[in-house]
Amino acid sequence: MDASVGSFYQRMLLANAHVAPYSADVRAHLQAKHTNEAQDFLLHLDADALYDDQDTNRRYVYLNEAKAVWQTDDATISVGNIIGAWGKMDIYSPIDTLNARNLLKDPLANDKLGATALQYRHYLDNGEWEVTVKFLETMQSLPYTASPYYFLDPKVCFGDLESHLVLWRPTLFARYSTTVEMGESSFDHTFILANGFDAIRGVIDGGQNDDFYDLTPLLFYSTKAMYAIAVPLEAWILKSEMALAYSEDSRVSHYGQLALAAEYATQTPWGQSLLYLSEYHRFVRWESTKLSALQLMQFFQNDWVIGVRMGLNDAYNSALMAAIIVDMEGQGSATQLSFNSKLIDSVSYSLRWLHLVPRDATHSTALPASSFDAMVGSFLDAIGAHDSITVGLTYHF
Amino acid sequence: MKKIVFLLLAMTLGLWSMTASELVKKMEKGTTSNNSVEAQLKMLLINSNGDTLERTMQLKTLDKGGESKALIEFLSPADVKGTKLLTYVHADKANEQWLYLPALKRVKRIVGSGQSGSFMGSEFTYEDFGKQGSDVYRYEELLQESTIDGVEYYLATRYPNSSDSAYSKQIIYVDKAQNLVRRVDYYDTKERHLKTATMHDYTSQNGSYRVGRIEMKNLQSGKATHILWLGEQSNAKLTDADFHKRVLER
């Protein structure tokens, strides 16, 4: 059994009357595994708790993973709350569609919420195939609008879920991954077919109330075909992911997503490891009259991400990371600088500076006075201006 | 006449002295076996002030002639527990390595110069855990000889074939009595002496020698890493299935 308890403090550097000047929270994580003697059955528990001192929305205990697993040499059957990692991208993966993101812990991080599912995976010599049935669609919550963790303008409120859909309609996933040797290189391919709830969430206009805009979350069904490839070439890894979705909702157009990435690993003359990363993301909808990328809460419509990770190669695994997301159509951008290390072997710490620039930097929000629906571009255009530092301290048992 | 005598003497010495190729064959014969090994390792990270951090790992290896597979899983400390490194060493192409990061539940491939980076903050690189066979290096045929503390050594200089290597050359010290590597001097890409590894506590198992402890000292930073083999089990009956990529996520 492993556990950790940490505390995080986020301080706003940008004065905004609508946003609390700071947020402080306590986070706990517990992981336990039990395997029988024959090692063909195991129980896996991964629990996550958050307690914010002000924001009651940011108080929860989640069983992100709580699953029973039967395994043979060639196959694995899992049932319960499951987390999967199908994508190859580091910043955003269009094919990583099994799990919803945890928007309460840190909306810009990649924390996942477990999917209640039954999964069968069969291993082959050079790959695997898998069938997953997700029984219940995961509902996501957002921080309170005045929280520094709320990434939209505080004048934008989310209402109740707009859905006539039954949350327990199953979503089916079929995946096949294989590695194909070609000369000295090997190509990793992943094919996924999905039918059921789309991983993308939409928002529709819920009307204006005084000075606030109401947005109503929207779920929809789709059938989606996804593909990913990764090719290592000496110190490079070239990656691509793509998705084509056929929407069953008249308000949502059929759409496509494309991600291209290049990763280059090298070292400084002083021995630190460097990983350069570049990702390009494109979202295209078939019918321009239907919900836009912004309304489908897509951070990436035509955006470029550049990042670098420097591993200091010390005993504390210290790492410095910098990344910037640039909106190729609007003027919005997101910049993040972070550092992770340890004070002693059982105590780690993290520092982060986050700087979000909306489409119109002269306003605290990019939203026009008219309506959210009138916006074009990506979700990045809808964010409010944000400038903060976050300090975290975690004790590992 | 003097020249002819000198030439004959040199030829005679050449016929009787060992070449690097012969030495490498003897070394590989003495330490390689068609065998699978399961061992627990303790890794001590020692900074320049002498402060020590401890990590424990489980190591599984499978040797098949010129090819081998290795799986390392971290057992402690808590924040890196479950991290796994899988290495395939091929006879006819570059090594392949995958790192499983449990916090992200992701398998990350390590490529090119990534392999010359530090392994989990230690003084070892991913490359050091890769293949050490004769096809990875180009050897200087002429061996040097030296006696240190009464022990006689052959000194062989070898150059990595890979342009992504962190090293420009290595000098290995092989004791003449048992043909075992006792020390390796690593030189960085600027040909400065970077690290020295010393091998201790060899044990003979089924006709093959296994090292019990390696101490790696970084001469430029003053830091050191010791790896100790605990409770090694030879002929562990491991198969290719134990090194399939599936084991990373299990």
Other beta carbons within 10 angstroms of residue B235's beta carbon come to 12
Element (H, E) at A174: strand A171-182
- Tokens, residue A393: 């301290």
Question: What is the distance between the alpha carbons of residues A234 and A179, in angstroms, rounded to a whole number?
Answer: 17
pLDDT at residue B130, as a whole number: 62
Question: What is the distance between the alpha carbons of residues A359 and A382, in angstroms, rounded to a whole number?
Answer: 8
- Tokens, residue A271: 């021995």
Question: What is the distance between the alpha carbons of residues A83 and A61, in angstroms, rounded to a whole number?
Answer: 16
B241 Cβ under 8 Å from any chain A Cβ: yes
A383 Cβ under 8 Å from any chain B Cβ: no
pLDDT at residue B1, as a whole number: 44
Residue of B nearest to A35 (CA): B250
What is the ipTM for the molecules in this complex? 0.81
B19-249, what's its fold? outer membrane lipoprotein receptor (LolB), chain A (2.50.20)
* DSSP collapsed to 3 states, A305-353: EEEEEEECCCCCCCEEEEEEEEECCCCCEEEEEEEEEEEECCEEEEEEE
Of A123, A230, A234, the CB nearest to B246: A123
| Strand runs labelled E in chain B | 36-46, 52-64, 67-76, 84-89, 96-101, 106-110, 137-139, 144-148, 151-160, 167-175, 181-188, 193-200, 203-205, 208-210, 213-218, 224-234
Query: Among residues A283, A275, A235, A237, which one has the least CA distance to residue A259?
Result: A283
CA distances to A107, A132, B96 from A137, rounded to whole Å, are 19, 13, 38
List B86's β-bridge partners, or say none: B71, B98
A86, A275, A314: best mutation site toward chain B, by most B Cβ within 10 Å? Answer: A314
How many residues would you count in chain A?
Answer: 397
Question: What is the distance between the alpha carbons of residues A107 and A90, in angstroms, rounded to a whole number?
Answer: 15
Q: Is residue A364 predicted with pLDDT exceeding 50? A: no
pLDDT at residue A164, as a whole number: 66
Report the pLDDT averaged over residues A85-91. Answer: 90
Q: What are phi and psi of B235, to 5 degrees?
A: 45, 50
Other beta carbons within 10 angstroms of residue A289's beta carbon come to 8
pLDDT at residue A367, as a whole number: 47
A2-396, what's its fold? Porin (2.40.160)
pLDDT of A286-343, one tens digit each? Answer: 998 888 887 888 878 888 999 999 988 788 889 999 999 888 877 778 899 999 999 9
Question: What is the distance between the alpha carbons of residues B187 and B168, in angstroms, rounded to a whole number?
Answer: 6
B91 Cβ under 8 Å from any chain A Cβ: no
- Tokens, residue B9: 């003497």
Question: Which residues in chain B are closer than 8 Å to A83, comparing Cβ atoms?
Answer: 105
Question: Which residues in chain B are closer than 8 Å to A342, comparing Cβ atoms?
Answer: 79
Other beta carbons within 10 angstroms of residue B80's beta carbon come to 18
Tens digit of pLDDT at every position of chain B (250 positions): 444 444 443 333 333 467 777 777 777 666 655 578 888 999 999 988 888 889 999 989 888 776 788 899 999 888 888 899 898 877 777 778 888 988 888 888 887 655 667 777 888 887 786 656 666 788 888 888 888 888 899 999 999 887 778 889 999 999 988 888 999 999 988 899 999 999 999 888 777 788 899 999 999 889 999 999 888 777 778 888 888 888 888 7
Least confident of A54-68, A157-171, A321-335: A157-171
Based on DSSP, count helices (H) and strands (E) in chain B, helices before strands: 3, 16
| Strand runs labelled E in A59-113 | 59-71, 75-82
Based on DSSP, count helices (H) and strands (E) in chain A, helices before strands: 0, 21
pLDDT at residue A368, as a whole number: 43
Question: What is the distance between the alpha carbons of residues A132 and B14, in angstroms, rounded to a whole number?
Answer: 68
Other beta carbons within 10 angstroms of residue A160's beta carbon come to 9
Question: What is the distance between the alpha carbons of residues A2 and B31, in angstroms, rounded to a whole number?
Answer: 38
pLDDT of A2-26, one tens digit each? Answer: 899 999 999 999 877 778 899 999 9
Question: What is the distance between the alpha carbons of residues A244 and A178, in angstroms, rounded to a whole number?
Answer: 21
Amino acid at A264: Y
Distance from CA of B250 to the nearest CA of A (A): 9
pLDDT at residue B216, as a whole number: 96
Report the pLDDT averaged over residues A131-159. Answer: 84
- Domains of chain B, residue spans: 19-249
Of B78, B116, B221, the CB nearest to A2: B78
Angle value at C-alpha A231, between A130 and B63, nearest 5 degrees: 75
Place A140 in a pLDDT band, splitting at 50, 70 and 90: confident
